[in-house]
Amino acid sequence: MSAVLPLGNRRPLALPAGSVETLKWLALVLMVLDHVNTYLLGGAHPWMFAAGRTVMPVFSMVLAYNLAHAAPGAAWRTARRALAFGLLATPAFWALRGGWWPLNIMFALAASAAAIGLLEQQRTKAALTLAAAAGMVVEFWWPVIGATVAAWYFWRSSSWQPAVAWALCMLALTPVNGNCWAFGAIPMVAVAAMLKAHPARVRWVFYIAYPLHLTILWSLK
């Protein structure tokens, strides 16, 4: 069995207690607003669309942070969980989008977590192959996988190289979004890190909320 990728002499970068939960709840609210605007209001409110462009980077960074601080094997459990809820969300997602392609964001996060699991085992070629293949069919394409992996490296080492890689992924996402609002995730994380909020931690809240809110929007539409 391949050895687990070592951390070196640096400890994973830690955020204050409650910051991660604050980011998750904020991103969840913005995601619902964005989807309401897109699927029920016909994109009538540009500010909702702009705010929604921060959601994927925030959830990606939260996922990367949790995996950077988790025990070995957590990446595979996360990948399986995201895949399961991605499948649950698929009927409503396809109906709202009017087609099967791309696969929803849960599949992108599942692929990202699986790639991290492979990197932890030093199976770099397998991780690159998975990222290349999954990036062709998931929402937000290759940038979301690259950004999640880069954020994982950053939370583990706090070095500048993965930060630059993350920024390049966000830059590559700009043509997909049509704007640069994905970079808004940076001040959101910075502000959350300074807050002393301690929101309640509800396990799997995002996983459950994702297919649930899409199904509700589908039924309303």
pLDDT at residue 4 greater than cutoff 50: no
- What is the tens place of the pLDDT at every residue in 101-138? 999 999 999 999 999 999 999 999 999 999 999 999 99
pLDDT category of residue 201 using cuts at 50, 70 and 90? confident
Residue 115 belongs to some domain of the structure: yes
Residue 155 belongs to some domain of the structure: yes
| Count of structural domains, the chain | 1
On whether the CB atoms of residues 106 and 59 are closer than 8 A, the answer is: no
CB atoms within 10 A of CB 122: 13
Residue 105 belongs to some domain of the structure: yes
* Torsion from C-alpha of 127, 133, 139, 140, nearest 10 degrees: 70
Distance (Å, rounded) from C-alpha 104 to C-alpha 60?
Answer: 14
On whether the CB atoms of residues 105 and 141 are closer than 8 A, the answer is: no
- What is the tens place of the pLDDT at every residue in 58-88? 999 999 999 999 998 999 999 999 999 999 9
Residue 5 belongs to some domain of the structure: no
Residue 12 belongs to some domain of the structure: no
Residue 197: what pLDDT? 75
Residue 212 belongs to some domain of the structure: yes
Residue 2 belongs to some domain of the structure: no
Distance (Å, rounded) from C-alpha 51 to C-alpha 60?
Answer: 15
Residue 2: what pLDDT? 40
Residue 41 belongs to some domain of the structure: yes
**Domain of residue 152, residue span:** 19-220
On whether the CB atoms of residues 12 and 162 are closer than 8 A, the answer is: no
pTM across the whole model: 0.93
- SS3 sequence of the chain: CCCCCCCCCCCCCCCCCCHHHHHHHHHHHHHHHHHHHHHCCCCCCHHHHHHHCCHHHHHHHHHHHHHHCCCCCHHHHHHHHHHHHHHHHHHHHHHHHCCCCCECHHHHHHHHHHHHHHHHCCCHHHHHHHHHHHCCCECCHHHHHHHHHHHHHHHHHCCHHHHHHHHHHHHHHHHHHCCCHHHHHHHHHHHHHHCCCCCCCCCCHHHHHHHHHHHHHHHHC
pLDDT at residue 8 greater than cutoff 90: no
- What is the tens place of the pLDDT at every residue in 148-173? 999 999 999 989 999 999 999 999 99
Residue 10: what pLDDT? 62
